Amino acid sequence: MVERIAPVLVFLIAVTVIAELADRAKVFDVAAREAAHLARGRVWRLWLLVVALATGLTIVLSLDTCAVLLTPVVLSMARQLDIPPKLFAFTTVWLAGTASLLLPVSNLTNLLALHPFRRLDVSYLSVSWRPALAAIVITVAVLAALFHRDLRLRYFVPPTPAVEDKVLFWGSAAVCLLLGPAFVSGIEVAWPASVGAIALVVLFAVRRRSALRWSLIPFKLVGTVVVLFTVVGFLSSHGLEDLLRRVAGTTSELRLSATAAVGANLFDNLPAYLAMEPVASDSPHRMLALLIGVNCGCLLTLWGSLATLLWRSRCDAARVDISWWSFLWRGLILTPLVVTGAVLTLNG
């Protein structure tokens, strides 16, 4: 248990520190404002650039970075440009979930799944790329259909924000860009994340020491992960695995994904994954079906994942009202399509 959880916790801490410091260096603010310039006053162009930014951030720096750090940036941008904000709010939270299939670093559940994939001697990316691509394409299509009126609007192009410290900005941007190839190189992902975090901490210690605080470390999230491991381990030793195996079945990957999605929406996606991993760990395709359920299928309830809860708090802070009903009915359109579509590509 310790050898499985330790690299996950190290990665979680390191990538959170990188994301927070990059945010303080205004990397995400400048990226969003440059997107507004590139779109030249057309909302549909701006939205496609935000889609690309949200997808890239989720894949490389995890869904929490997209949901927590990009959300306030795009909501502030929408307010300044006088654009309806819900288009961008749902873009960030939905892609945070559905774009988090591609790489192990994109989601904590994927990192946990690396152990069964290695035991099966199968490359994670060789199984994940088709479902990940399908999930992203379906999400973008549903967003375009639901918000097609907003996509026709125009806006005035704002000036680019000033960067206070260009050394911090370019150093942080370089670390974020280098993480992508480092994470797909085959090295244990905790190592490049740790190196990147240490590099930024040293850079900020020299340039802006006041930004370095203990609050950069996600103590509550780390504690939550440890508690979930402990609770699910206890329940699994008292009959939970047999119950889930009967519900999920042993032949249908779609049934397995659906069961995982229900569990994620009821109890959060991380404990749902931990509970169901023994049911799926005999096959790489069943493992990916499980991840499709917990990553892409958790978008019905506001507590379906930690990232969704954090996203809702950022929306509240920006005074963008997202009710549980508003989130549910849109999720009922997306979730069956994205889960089914992604599962159908598994054997393609």
DSSP for residue 296:
I
Measured at the CA of 317, the angle between CA 221 and CA 13, to 5 degrees, comes to 20
State residue 86's pLDDT score.
94
Cβ count within 10 A of residue 64: 25
Q: Is 187 helix (H, G, I), strand (E, B) or coil?
A: coil
Positive or negative CA dihedral for 196, 199, 204, 205?
positive
CB 307 within 8 A of CB 68: yes
State residue 296's pLDDT score.
95
Positive or negative CA dihedral for 334, 155, 78, 20?
positive
Pick from 5, 6, 12, 3: which is nearest to 193 by CA? 12
State residue 161's pLDDT score.
66
Contacts of 153 (CB under 8 A, 6+ apart): 43, 83, 84
State residue 187's pLDDT score.
77
- State residue 205 phi and psi, 5-degree precision: -60, -35
Token output for 168: 């911090």
DSSP for residue 217:
S
Please, what are the averages of pLDDT over each run of 10 residues along the chain (348 residues)?
72 84 86 83 93 92 79 84 92 96 91 91 94 98 97 84 86 88 76 92 93 86 75 69 71 89 86 86 94 95 84 82 93 97 88
Token output for 69: 């750090």
For the entire predicted model, the pTM comes to 0.81
Pick from 329, 68, 333, 22: which is nearest to 169 by CA? 22
Q: What's the CA gap between 322 and 89, in Å, rounded?
A: 9
State residue 283's pLDDT score.
92
Letter for the amino acid at 317? A
Pick from 290, 283, 280: which is nearest to 259 by CA? 290
CB 289 within 8 A of CB 261: no
Q: What's the CA gap between 14 and 336, in Å, rounded?
A: 34
Q: What's the CA gap between 39 and 45, in Å, rounded?
A: 5
State residue 3's pLDDT score.
66
State residue 236's pLDDT score.
66
Cβ count within 10 A of residue 2: 6
Cβ count within 10 A of residue 298: 30
CB 105 within 8 A of CB 111: yes
Q: Where are the domains of the chain?
A: 1-346
Q: Which residues in 309-345 are b (16+ Cβ under 10 Å) and which e?
A: ebbbebbeebebebeeeebeebbeebbebbbebbbeb
